[in-house]
Amino acid sequence: MPTYITLIRFTQKGVEAIREAPARLDAAKQTYAAVGAKLKAFYLVTGRYDAVAIAEAPDDEAMAKISLAIASKGNSRTETVRAFGEDEYRKIVKDLPEVKIR
């Protein structure tokens, strides 16, 4: 399954209810499972973002459903990117087309 990395920022609402955040994380895991995805890792981080999630999902549509469902609760804002593992990276680079532009 494709891998996705989600960068998470808590909203003011999310910070005000931060003590309930572990229960929200448990609910998010159920949301992932409901569309055939899996939350592989979750990290609280320092810096520009508050947390990072690493997940596997069947496709972009499933990941979009997860993102929208969780965002609709108003506790966080996210940015999700598709991640390519080392094997995928090597295949992509190996199969690059020749560009014949000067």
Q: Would you state the pLDDT for residue 101? A: 87
pLDDT of residue 11: 97
CA 14 to CA 25: how far, in whole Å? 12
Q: pLDDT tens digits for 52-64? A: 999 999 999 999 9
Specify the pLDDT at position 15: 95
pLDDT of residue 49: 98
At 19, phi and psi to the nearest 5?
Answer: -65, -20
- pLDDT for res 12: 97
* Inter-axis angle of helices 21-34 and 60-71, nearest 10: 150
Predicted TM-score (pTM) of the model is 0.90
Contact 38, 32 (CB under 8 A): yes
Predicted pLDDT of residue 77: 96
- In this structure, whether the domain defined by 3-94 belongs to CATH 3.30.70.920 is answered with yes
* Domains in the chain: boundaries: 3-94
Segments of the chain scoring below 70 in pLDDT: none
